[in-house]
Amino acid sequence: MTALTHPMPMGRTRAVYALEIRLELVRLLRMPAFALPMFLLPVATYLLFAFAVAGEAVAKDPDAGRFMFGGFSVMAVTMAALFATCPNLAMEREQGLLTLKRAQPAPPGAWLTAKIVAGVACGALAYLPILVLAAVTGQAHLSGAQFVAMSAVLVAGTIPFCALGVMLGALTSGSAAPAYANLAYLPGLYLSGVFFPLPKSMHFQTVFWPHFHLDQLVFAAGGVDKFRWIAPEMAVAILLGFTVLCSGVALYRLKRRG
């Protein structure tokens, strides 16, 4: 006797995806150990360096304000996206929760979609205070259209870092995942030249970091040509390839190990 399987109706499938996304977001926002550092650290660092430390330099040179706005905005969206996906996925995989979900009559991609959407949403939430602060004070010296274009690129730029988080979460244990996430993220944050200009002897290695390419796309979207070093098409291609690579490794690992 064979069992008959019927595809889930489209309306019910959408409801399952929406429920999974909502629960993932609620779970993240109810974790003070995640929410407070991810949402407060970027804007606090931006306040410290862009206003307290370099306030006079920004007043004299508008390009300095644009550079700092781009760099700290990249930090906000990418850090939140990575840490919203990596540690939780590693813990759920280690505890067998993903295996349990695979045995349930639910779309197999719902939990993964929820992780990515939650990462994008957390990145946008972490970036919002910086956007409001820069727009209200005029510190970034950007027009409304520039803010809109740069914000769209920043939110879209969370996806490669969500893919990186999913890959690290699929490869590492729950206890080690935060350490590996920091190891993969922090060197690129500093070596990519996002925060401060690098000496010419170090320019060769910036192209190896996804942070650099996202920063380049942000400046290209805002029409800030002074800090652009590569073509936007090349930056898009590299970020797309990075996303595909991380996603492929993650799916291969999860398929074999659960």
> According to the per-residue pLDDT averaged within each range, which of 55-64, 199-208, 237-246 is highest?
237-246
Q: What pLDDT is attached to residue 234?
A: 94
pLDDT above 80 (res 202): yes
* Of 108 and 240, the one with more pLDDT: 240
Quote the pTM value: 0.88
Give Cα 178 distance to the centre of its chain: 15
Orientation of helix 62-95 relative to helix 144-156, angle to 10°: 30
Predicted confidence at residue 2, as pLDDT, reads 47
Q: What is the DSSP letter of 223?
A: T
Tens of pLDDT, residues 139-164: 888 999 999 999 999 999 999 999 99
Task: List, for residues 175-187, the tens digit of each pLDDT value.
Answer: 899 999 999 999 9
Asked if residue 104 lies in contact with residue 146, where contact means CB atoms within 8 angstroms, the answer is no
